Amino acid sequence: MAATQLTASPVTVSARSLASLEGLRASSAKFGTLKPGTFKQSQFRSFVVRAASVVAPKYTSIKPLGDRVLVKIKEAEEKTMGGILLPSTAQSKPQGGEVVAVGEGRTIGKNKIDITVPTGAQIIYSKYAGTEVEFNDEKHLILKEDDIVGLLETEDIKDLKPLNDRVFIKVAEAEEKTAGGLLLTETTKEKPSIGTVIAVGPGTLDEEGKVQPLSISTGSTVLYSKYAGNDFKGKDGSNYIALRASDVMAILS
């Protein structure tokens, strides 16, 4: 198939086509000029825009339903640990915030299960969870309680208290040499999938809504799925990962 040269000038996409709920104020997003490039026609179909839903000022509160919570998103870090200012493009997307409202909970079997996370709690949530909402000119996220990875009562991720069936692991150091003794560079070091469990959640809920403790205990050295979970770096430079207990494949001894 022949390739087609496409050059796009600035495009403005209205968020009216994205927001269909009453009370959402339309905003717009602009794309910069694309550099000339070569695209196959089958690959250049349309732009997909994902923007935060903007709640109009006439609404003064948001009440989550069911097992959902409303989280005020923590601002992105503007500096590195060494004090270097980061451009907006280099700032990592926050995965934490403060719970500002909670739903009424959910029903499992005949039992009503309340949300265990209180308002005011500082939490860490899954990277791609929830729906972003702009409310009172601040970014919020509406997500399910099960998408909350854990509670964080300090500024250091190593103190994370995992929730539900989550396991918090300190990742083992990557191998510095090959089996033959060759030194590995940072780019060639294989991502470790072994670590030490430093905290576990209370467990999963069974069909009657009762908590079933996890079979994994703190202090265990485990092998986990390489591409699972959420990665974090502690203030001491150590790497950590939070994942579900089902992503732990084996206990090593």
Asked whether residue 89 is domain-assigned, the answer is yes
Whether residue 101 is found in the same domain as residue 66: yes
Final residue of a structural domain among 87, 121, 152: 152
Q: What is the pLDDT along the chain (253 residues), one digit of tens a residue?
A: 444 444 444 444 444 444 444 444 444 444 455 455 544 444 444 444 456 799 999 999 999 999 999 999 988 654 445 555 544 443 455 689 999 999 999 998 888 999 999 999 999 999 889 999 999 999 999 999 999 999 999 989 999 999 999 999 999 986 555 556 555 455 544 566 999 999 999 999 888 888 999 999 999 999 999 888 999 999 889 999 999 999 999 999 9
End-to-end alpha-carbon separation of the chain, Å? 56
CB atoms within 10 A of CB 19: 17
Whether residue 140 is found in the same domain as residue 172: no
The residues, ordered by sequence, that sit 6+ positions from 180 with a Cβ below 8 Å of its Cβ are: none
Whether residue 191 is found in the same domain as residue 209: yes
Instruction: Name the domain count of the chain.
Output: 2
**66-82: pLDDT as tens digits:** 999 999 998 865 444 55
Whether residue 125 is found in the same domain as residue 188: no
Q: Which two tokens stand for residue 118?
A: 């209180």
Domain of residue 111, residue span: 62-152
- What are the backbone angles phi and psi of residue 43, rounded to the nearest 5°? -95, -15
Beta partners for residue 196, in sequence order: 170, 221
What CATH number corresponds to the domain at position 206?
2.30.33.40
Whether residue 126 is found in the same domain as residue 189: no
Q: Which two tokens stand for residue 199?
A: 């905290």
Whether residue 194 is found in the same domain as residue 116: no
Whole-prediction pTM: 0.69
Q: Is the backbone of residue 67 left (phi > 0), alpha (psi -120 to 50) or beta?
A: alpha
Final residue of a structural domain among 121, 152, 183: 152
